[in-house]
């Protein structure tokens, strides 16, 4: 016979968040109706366009304290706080950086985080419904670029009544958006903070993305892009994520985390898991396929590969010619997916054009993912830069 259930303790009912968290948040949706179609860089038109976003903190009366945060490849609008309580809590992807008293201090700044165009987390993308067919767009979704993502963010800011951003900050693909903001809308942003990014992927980066795309496209379940929602190409997508994860870590970090340690219980099978690092990678792949869409992965890696400020403008110096923002460029010593040299090329071009730019190549052995992890000076740099920007804008 079962014991009677113990009464639920009251603390389990009242959500309790860390004091430096923005706490419970929800993702909001803004839909631009057919009267405001989005014209893409490719020439295609998209309508309606829904934008998923979150905000933290308060816009001040001067409307001069807004900070736009741009997420990376597999991120979402949920950058800070929690989506639930207890076991269902889900912290934002930059909870480390955003909150009361944190680097991006929500008692001072009004933080806007939007899911970019083409993602699968609320903003219109390949998993959205094509109004012409009533079915998901899939690979009939129009091609889009980093510039298009920035355009959607601008529409959101218009809607929120924000004429000028104090700063735009993003890491990796989010850093590409930050750079594009400085170029596309110089009058609307005082500070640009590209972190662990590049004005164009390296050949090696494109190569890794291409293997990931081949893994998805070659999966028989991809069905020429028309896979069943309930039976997606999980094998290909999981391989893509495994490849990605290797490139997000450094060799040093992998060595420190896993070394050559073997699994405590052998799997018996020769081609089963043998080393801890294998277990980790497979778990990453398995988790990812439950939360991400395969076609979306194709579009997003293509948008990332195609971002190329040199090709767009003839040279990096030309690209930044019309910029008026101050820049804080940050790279990480052990990042081999976006090596420091690519950040340094941005810094040199900015300096040559006489722009105000600060640069730091931060010490970290954590590779590309360092911008998402504690243990480096990124937070200090962000908070200092934002404070100085704000002072200057008021003087």
Interface with a second copy (CB under 8 A)? 139, 143, 200-204, 206-208, 210-211, 213-215, 217-220, 235, 238-239, 242-243, 246, 249, 251, 254-255, 257-260, 270-271, 274-275, 277-278, 281-282, 285, 298, 302, 305-306, 308, 310-311, 336, 339
CA pair distance 280, 246, nearest whole angstrom: 11
Provide the token pair at 206: 């494109």
Smallest distance, Å, CB 321 to a second copy? 21
3 state SS of 239: helix
Smallest distance, Å, CB 259 to a second copy? 6
Smallest distance, Å, CB 296 to a second copy? 12
Question: Is 335 marked active-site?
Answer: yes
- Which residues does 271 contact at the CB level (< 8 Å), separation at least 6? none
Taking the least distance from each CB to a second copy, the nearer of 154 and 245 is 245
CA pair distance 221, 239, nearest whole angstrom: 14
- Which residues does 52 contact at the CB level (< 8 Å), separation at least 6? 27, 28, 29, 76, 77, 114, 115, 121, 122, 123
Taking the least distance from each CB to a second copy, the nearer of 43 and 220 is 220
Taking the least distance from each CB to a second copy, the nearer of 30 and 206 is 206
Taking the least distance from each CB to a second copy, the nearer of 88 and 290 is 290
Taking the least distance from each CB to a second copy, the nearer of 6 and 224 is 224
Q: Are strands 189-195 and 165-171 parallel, antiparallel or unpaired?
A: parallel
Q: What is the full DSSP assignment across 26-55?
A: --EEEEE-TTSPEEPTTS-EE-SEEEEEEE
Smallest distance, Å, CB 273 to a second copy? 8
CA pair distance 360, 104, nearest whole angstrom: 18
Question: Is 172 marked active-site?
Answer: yes
Question: Is 393 marked active-site?
Answer: no
Smallest distance, Å, CB 193 to a second copy? 24
| Catalytic (active-site) positions | 172, 335, 368
């Amino acid at each position: 016979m079962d014991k009677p259930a113990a009464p639920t303790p009251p603390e389990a009912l009242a959500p309790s968040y860390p004091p430096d968290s923005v706490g419970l948040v929800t993702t909001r949706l803004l839909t631009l109706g057919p009267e405001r179609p989005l014209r893409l860089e490719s020439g295609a038109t998209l309508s309606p366009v829904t934008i998923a976003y979150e905000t933290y903190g308060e816009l001040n009366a001067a409307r001069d304290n807004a900070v736009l945060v741009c997420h990376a490849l597999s991120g979402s609008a949920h950058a800070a706080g929690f989506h639930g309580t207890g076991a269902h809590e889900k912290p934002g992807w930059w909870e480390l950086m955003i909150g009361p008293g944190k680097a991006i201090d929500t008692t001072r700044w009004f933080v806007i985080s939007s899911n970019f165009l083409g993602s699968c987390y609320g903003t219109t993308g390949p998993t959205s419904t094509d109004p012409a067919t009533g079915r998901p767009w899939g690979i009939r979704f129009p091609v889009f670029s980093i510039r298009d993502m920035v355009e959607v963010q601008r529409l959101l800011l218009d809607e929120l009544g924000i004429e000028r951003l104090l700063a735009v900050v993003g890491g990796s693909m989010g850093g590409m958006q930050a750079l594009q903001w400085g170029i596309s809308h110089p009058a609307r942003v005082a500070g640009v903070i590209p972190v662990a990014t590049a004005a164009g992927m390296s050949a090696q980066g494109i190569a890794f993305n291409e293997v990931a795309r081949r893994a998805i496209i070659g999966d028989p379940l991809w069905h020429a892009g028309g896979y069943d929602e309930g039976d997606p190409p999980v094998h290909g997508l999981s391989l893509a994520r495994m490849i990605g994860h290797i490139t997000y870590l450094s060799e040093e970090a992998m060595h420190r985390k896993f070394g050559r340690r073997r699994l405590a219980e052998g799997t018996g099978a020769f081609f089963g898991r043998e080393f801890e690092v294998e277990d980790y990678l497979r778990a990453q792949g398995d988790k990812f396929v439950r939360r991400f869409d395969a076609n979306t992965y194709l579009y997003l890696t293509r948008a990332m590969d195609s971002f190329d400020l040199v090709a767009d403008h003839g040279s990096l110096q030309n690209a930044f010619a019309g910029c008026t923002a101050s820049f804080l460029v940050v790279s990480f010593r052990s990042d081999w997916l976006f090596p420091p040299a690519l950040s340094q090329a941005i810094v040199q071009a900015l300096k040559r054009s006489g722009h105000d730019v600060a640069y730091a190549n931060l010490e970290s052995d954590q590779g590309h993912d360092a911008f998402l992890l504690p243990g480096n000076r990124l937070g200090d740099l962000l908070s200092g830069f934002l404070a100085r920007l704000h002072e200057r804008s008021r003087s």
